[in-house]
Amino acid sequence: MRRILTLAGVAAGLVVGGATAYAEYPEKNIHVMIPFSAGGGTDVPGRLFSIELEKILDTNIIVTNVTGAGGTIGATKLSKEKPDGYHLGFMPVGTTTTQPHIRKTAYSDKSWEPICMVAQGPLYVTVAKDSGMNTFQDLIDRAKEGGVVTGGPPPGSLPHIAQAAVALAHDVEFTYIPHEGINEVVKSMLGGRVHMAIWFGDAAQRFDLVPLAILDSKRSEEFPDVPTAAELGKPIEHYVWFGFFAPAGTPSDIIEKLSAACEEAVQQPSFVEGMAKAKRLIRYMPTDEFREFFTDQYKNNGKLLRDAGLIK
């Protein structure tokens, strides 16, 4: 009798198990991890994007913010999740391509299946309104005399690397004061203690800062009068991007499904409107292109950090 019961149990298990294997993905809630705090620079596009995915995939998307240590705590956690398509992450360039070089993270570029790029933001060289500097040349002139103080997030962050690149290209030196984030930097700028900061366009708008140059290959729509670094003599390009990732080993049919959903999501009018309201730029890159781009970025940023002497 017991044997029969066991057999029946096994049979039932097989039926149920078989059914799961063939069921349409997604059949349960999907967790999207954002490695920075709610309401922040990564969180806003991440949440707007998740709202669209929820509608397209017709399932619940649970957004969790796992914060700390430049996003590496969240990324490490995600890299250890089961690659079943139910644990995904919305992560920026720093967490995925610079932090692994700076810290000994348990994850690397091999730990992810890149799904798509969702958003991007070029960096601007900005100064406070009453700084007395009106052009990029003013800044370089002042730096030549010595005494330009610049601020940004902790060393190894994108703005830190970018200011090092600008200084190197124009053969000047900036004094870098690390702050916790852009809010603290702007306070120092408005108080006149920090003269220049490299940041995204939204900060220039929000805090009424004057952008002097854009570190991109072309001028932007939001600040059409601001020259590119190349126009100013040295081509320097630094921008942040935000991508949608799955842990490595996620089945390819699930990645395909997510890739299609991503393409649809970024085109939704509500997403476009939401991003515009938050002054963020949508930049979509499909899976194949993004995978290649990501691998390149991982390598290049490692090289940049070594060249800047930030890592050995």
Tokens 């932090």, located at residue: 99
Using CB under 8 A, which residues numbered 209 to 268 contact other proteins?
none
Residue closer to other proteins, measured from CB, 192 or 235: 192
Using CB under 8 A, which residues numbered 160 to 219 contact other proteins?
160, 175, 177-180, 183-184, 186-188, 190-193, 202, 205-208
Q: DSSP alpha helices (H): ranges in 191-279?
A: 201-207, 252-267, 269-277
Q: Is the dihedral of CA 185, 190, 191, 192 positive or negative?
A: positive
Q: Please tell me the count of residues contacting other proteins according to CB under 8 A.
A: 56
Residue closer to other proteins, measured from CB, 113 or 202: 202
Residue closer to other proteins, measured from CB, 137 or 205: 205
| Residues 214, 224: Cα–Cα separation, whole Å | 10
> Is 129 in a helix, a strand, or coil?
helix
DSSP for 76-98? HHHHTS--SSSEEEEEEHIIIII
E-strand stretches of 83-225: 87-92, 112-127, 149-152, 175-178, 196-200, 210-214
Residue closer to other proteins, measured from CB, 70 or 121: 70
Using CB under 8 A, which residues numbered 47 to 66 contact other proteins?
47-48, 51, 63-66
- Closest distance to other proteins from the beta carbon of 263 (Å): 22
Which positions touch other proteins (CB under 8 A)? 37-40, 43-44, 47-48, 51, 63-70, 72-74, 76, 102-103, 105-106, 149, 153-157, 160, 175, 177-180, 183-184, 186-188, 190-193, 202, 205-208, 274, 277-279, 310
